Amino acid sequence: MAHYPHPLIAREGWPFLAGCVAVAAVATAVAGWWSAPFWLAALFVLQFFRDPPREVPQGEGLVLAPADGRIVQVGAARDDYLGRDAVKVSVFMNVFNVHSNRAPVDGTVENVWYFPGKFVNADLDKASTDNERNAVHFRTGAGVDVTSVQVAGLIARRILCYVGKGDRLARGDRYGFIRFGSRVDVYLPPGSTPKVAIGDRVSATSTVLAHLPGY
């Protein structure tokens, strides 16, 4: 099993899971088998906050998936955070996906920007510009810039980011979490080669999204 310094159930979920189990236990004592819906709710919370270890692919110039989910956009776009043209790859996470966010590349955090916004369906392209979001600018050791943007969704109401300017991360390192449905946009420099297509299912860290230019 890959080394992983975090619990298998994300610590962000502990209060929710404890509350659901406590309510279900009380319901069981009071109502017996009528408490089944409360236990189902606890099971849902348990699966939502799972945070399994992942093997990290080895190789130069790899960009890894920052989240579990389905690819909803691949192609040319404008990276407004860095003011450049880019290749954009977007991953949509539904409520049954793992919502832990991982660094897509080895690099140093150059900037972190938070933007308040709306909560439209994260499956829609306009979510990238209209919704609440948090952008992290990574710079690799070779000087390549990659922007990873956590985007809130229709029922997501909390974006968590644990890194700041100057932090160094290895690809696959956990850097944030989004609660209850969301999206992550990755902006890559022109010339990057996508390795996924719209509709593909990807897994955080273990799926290669793209190769950076020159590799």
In this prediction the pTM is 0.82
Break the chain into its structural domains and give their ranges.
Answer: 11-48, 62-211
Q: What is the mean pLDDT of the chain?
A: 85
Catalogue the active-site residues. Answer: 182
Express each pLDDT in 138-178 by its tens digit: 999 999 999 999 988 665 557 889 899 999 999 999 998 88
pLDDT confidence of residue 185:
94
Which strand (E) or helix (H) includes residue 50? none
Decide if pLDDT at 64 tops 80.
yes
- Which DSSP state fits 49? T
Beta strands in the chain (DSSP E): 62-64, 69-79, 84-93, 100-102, 107-115, 133-139, 145-152, 159-161, 168-169, 174-178, 182-188, 193-194, 201-202, 208-211
Which strand (E) or helix (H) includes residue 34? none
Decide if pLDDT at 10 tops 80.
no
* CATH (residue range 62-211): 2.70.70.10
On whether the CB atoms of residues 55 and 3 are closer than 8 A, the answer is: no
